[in-house]
Amino acid sequence: MHNSQQAPAATHAIPHSFTWRGKEYRIKQIGGHWRIRGRWWKAEGDRYFFRVITTNGAILDLCVDQTTGQYRVAAVHD
């Protein structure tokens, strides 16, 4: 993913575009962001999610790994 704009809820940048399943998506809008606290008894870190709307109308939730700064697609919405 191509990092650029600063994330409001995390210390990592939100990408302007990303590649998923061989196709490149450009982010048009951030539809929201939230944090899910990790289970402290399992030493899990917090997970930060961003709902993004792409230029072709896809709505996806991206989750950032706080350790590596890498994003993954956590959900796809119809």
Report how far residue 31's alpha carbon sits from residue 47's, in angstroms, rounded to the nearest whole number. 17
Report how far residue 75's alpha carbon sits from residue 13's, in angstroms, rounded to the nearest whole number. 19
Report how far residue 9's alpha carbon sits from residue 38's, in angstroms, rounded to the nearest whole number. 15
Residue 74: band (very low, low, confident or very high) from pLDDT cuts 50, 70, 90: very high
Report how far residue 8's alpha carbon sits from residue 11's, in angstroms, rounded to the nearest whole number. 8
23-33: per-residue pLDDT in tens?
Answer: 999 999 999 99
46-73: per-residue pLDDT in tens?
Answer: 889 999 999 999 999 999 887 778 899 9
| DSSP β-bridge partners for residue 27 | 54
Residue-level pLDDT at 6: 46
